[in-house]
Amino acid sequence: MAYVFLLGAISAEVVATSLLKSTDGFTRLWPTVAVLGGYAISFVALSQAVKGVQVGVAYAVWSALGTAAIVGIGAIFLGEPITLVKTIGVSLIIAGVVTLNLGGAH
């Protein structure tokens, strides 16, 4: 169940981060409400996830998958370029999370 909360936390954070640009510097009400609500949901779900997953592992998975998803969303919907450096960076982040999970399994 902890991993369900973790996936919910990641999803809410990705949605909130995706909407950040639409807030226009927090000057537009409804996008701002959606972003703040998404982050609140994300942190509540993350706090539930760490009841069953080590904090370091949960946070690493949360941040890595969120980062990878935002890079993909930026490329697909916001016209941001996918460069070799970005690809290597995201790959290194994911490799770090895998390493943490392998170390935390003992």
Q: What is the pTM of this model?
A: 0.87
104 band by pLDDT with thresholds 50, 70 and 90: low
> How far is 105 from 85, CA to CA, in rounded Å?
30
Domain boundaries, given as residue ranges, for the chain: 2-104
Mean pLDDT of 32-40: 98
pLDDT beyond 90 at 71: yes
- Least Cα distance to 71 among 63, 62, 59, 80 occurs for 80
Write the CA distances from 33 to 27, 37, 52, 68, 103, integer angstroms.
Answer: 11, 6, 30, 24, 39
Q: CA 28 → CA 70, 72, 88, 97, distances in Å?
A: 21, 25, 35, 36
Tell me, what's the pLDDT at 97? 85
Q: What is the mean pLDDT of the chain?
A: 93
- Cβ(51)–Cβ(6) under 8 Å? no
Let me know: does 101 contact 57? Beta carbons within 8 Å.
yes
With tokens 């998958």, the residue in question is: 65
pLDDT value of position 30: 97
**What per-residue confidence (pLDDT) applies to 57?**
87
Mean pLDDT across 2-10: 97
Task: Say yes or no to pLDDT of 106 above 70.
Answer: no
